[in-house]
Amino acid sequence: MDSGFTDYRQKWRERRQRIRLRRLPLVILGVLLLLVVALVSARRHRPELGAVAWVHGNGSRGLPRIGLGEGAIALAWEYGSVTAHAASTGSPLWRTPFDRAQQFDGPPTIAGDRIVLGGSDGVVWCLELKTGEPAWNFDAQTLVRSRPLILDDRVYVGGDDGRLYCLKLVDGTLAWAYPPVDQADREAILGGPAAEGGTVVCGSCEGEAFGVDLATGALRWRISLDGPVIAGVTVDQGLAYIAVENGLVRCVSAAKGQTVWERALSFLVRQPVVVRNRRAFLFSSDGTVTCVEARTGRDVWRRRLHGRPTTSAVADERRVYVGTSDRLVQALSLETGRTVWRWRPGSKPLGDLLIDSQHLYCATSTGRVFAVRIAP
């Protein structure tokens, strides 16, 4: 009895050993596969970014809208204050922020020694960049949410009354407005205007885009579109790129408004077209990026983002950058559209992405602003 039981246990041990030996290659193969996937993933998604240079904000002032220029970044806070910081270090330029009782719904623009932005009280403010002191203000008597365009000695900004205002930069007096007469029930101008060759081009929620003379505000052309224009207009080398919310992207002559090419995308378009290195980048709400030749509209490549775009996009000589609903900022190769890196700021990026030669600037849904060093 004992000998038979011993033989049975010995046979069972040998059988289990054979099962282990047969499984061992599969286990080793699985471990190696996991290691390879981990290594490839780490290499593929490793940010080519340096450390975060600085972070500002904690949400107590609401969401910030950012403007960049002259080595400074201006933050217009949702709950009614404006601060300015050195772009490289984040150190404040003013001890006390410029405060207002009303909130700021539009992003600021920096040019020279001035910051210009609009408020929900209908007032366009101009502040001294070095001190934060008001230089002048203009009462547009309507909500101002578009980003101002500062060109030479003029400020061009759109209002919720559907009018484009041209103000003198020196004192804020009105030079002209288009339409010249206030018209009831016109839809808002939300996206910022752009200028090219003596013409300022603007789109509106009225379902139109127009070009007016920079100096006089006289209408040069106007085109009807099939939907509202939420995004700002982009101009480059005599062409204006207009993104319509219904998915239409139209490239027109900035001087005459004549259509050069157009593309009908399958989903909504709320981000401005980005133009860089003779290519145009179109962002649709399903997370698709379409790269086309800027002057012909011919396809170059198409990629899917991780999530939907939640910021405007910016580009440098190598990459195009955009924030998405997956709490990511993604960098895509200009040449191929391949994801070069992804970076997580910890919460959803919102508003505008801005870039200079050293940093990428990003505002988030938690009321924080990041400045991240970009690798050379």
Q: Where are the domains of the chain?
A: 1-45
How high is the pLDDT of residue 301? 98
pLDDT score at 105: 83
Average pLDDT for residues 149-168, to the nearest whole number?
96
Residue 47, pLDDT score: 46
14 vs 106, residue with greater confidence: 106
pTM of structure: 0.86
Span 318-332, average pLDDT: 95
pLDDT per residue over 191-236, tens digit each?
999 999 999 999 999 999 999 999 999 999 999 998 999 999 999 9
**Burial status of residue 25 (CB atoms within 10 A of its CB: 0-12, 13-18, 19 or more):** exposed
Letter for the amino acid at 370?
F
Asked if 371 contacts 356 with a C-beta cutoff of 8 angstroms, the reply is: no
Once rounded to an integer, what is the mean pLDDT over residues 162-187?
A: 94
Question: What token pair was written down for 363?
Answer: 């505002």
Nearest to 99 by CA among 71, 127, 140: 127
Q: How much is the pLDDT for 48? A: 47
Tell me the average pLDDT of the chain.
90
The pLDDT tens digits for 334-357 are: 999 999 988 999 899 999 999 999
> How high is the pLDDT of residue 185?
85
Alpha carbon 346 to its chain centroid, in Å, reads 17
What residue has token string 């002259």?
70
β partners of residue 82: 76, 98
In this prediction, what percent of the chain has a pLDDT beyond 70? 90
Alpha-carbon span 200 to 155, nearest angstrom: 11
Cα–Cα separations (whole angstroms), residue 62 to 81, 98, 148, 234, 299: 10, 15, 21, 29, 40
Alpha-helical runs (H) found in the chain: 2-45
Q: What is the mean pLDDT of residues 155-170?
A: 97
Q: Positive or negative, the Cα torsion across 151, 156, 157, 158?
A: negative
Mean pLDDT of 286-313: 96
Indicate if the pLDDT at residue 102 is higher than 90: no
pLDDT of residue 8: 60
| pLDDT at residue number 51 | 78
Looking at the chain, the whole-number percentage of residues with pLDDT higher than 90 is 75
Residue 6 — very low, low, confident or very high, per pLDDT cuts 50/70/90?
low
Mean pLDDT of the region 116-139: 94
pLDDT tens, position by position, 29-52:
777 777 776 665 555 444 445 579
pLDDT for res 50: 56
- Binned at pLDDT 50, 70 and 90, residue 12 comes out as low
Stronger pLDDT, 5 or 81, i.e. the higher one: 81
Q: What is the pLDDT of residue 20?
A: 66
